[in-house]
Structure 1
């Protein structure tokens, strides 16, 4: 009788160990699957939605990745699970690099572009030097901003800055020749002529001064 009871007790103990082992493996597999699913779900979120909470998203990824690595040790046959985890690691790292590039602040504009932005407005004139946006309705205000900006900054411009100012001024003048045939009013034409008269001596005198200052610095 005692032998039967002992054997029964051992059988129950083994069954208990087997059940615990199965539960442990099942939990480990769920952890791996959850990690894989998390990576896939993050990749499906729009970049603008991720940006505001990226630190939390990345921290959650690290947590789940560590849990998945630990879970592999509890799996009897870990080959397939290991492949899943490694594939998701690569997938996430590639995605993270992509998002890092997307979230990075845009590079500061070059000094030449900063000058163009000041003279005409942010991004109005790029490398293509297109003045197609200037028309009969806005050309007077474009000249106004240009000439007044030059006047306000004339003491700070280098010789190279003045050369760029002259290049842009000539390009604007070229656009004016086209705009005159497209309905430029006599009043605006008169006001532009006044601004041109103001600009010409200001350019000549200050560019010469900038060149003189640079020659003095070079001699030092």
Structure 2
């Protein structure tokens, strides 16, 4: 009799454990599905929609990616799920590159088309250095690039509170163009000492810019809310 009760109890416990495992795996599969569906939905958004909502899209993506990565650890047979996650990750990276390119194009389009009357660029880089929509930064070389970064950073820090969100988009486009030029200059003999100093400036600039971009958007939303009242 005792053996029968023991066996019955064991079977019930086993069934409960199996049920929990099945439930955990089902939840994991749903989270993988949520990730895949989210990426597919981002793919369907047009360029203007992505550009206007990219920060929210990125935040949503990171949340669902974290869920999917955690889900993979819950699955015994995860080969198929891993394949789906990897494919969606690649798909999203393609969308992200396109969104970043669209942002650069928009920022360039917002800049003055002709002449040297771009006061923002003149302040950040020196009068007449950046003209029109030229983002090549061909005037930057191994001998002056450190000074360019120093001037850019110090003047951004000095004027950061006066920039709108759209102006900060321009700043980002110029900064990325300068970084692209740096990759070329490094091959032309940029000294290790100057390279290290530039790296230190970049470490200071990145969090400062992110904060200004975040607060500028908050101010913009607050102004829009007041205007609607």
Higher radius of gyration, 1 or 2: 1
- What TM-score do the two structures reach when normalised by structure 2? 0.47
- What TM-score do the two structures reach when normalised by structure 1? 0.49
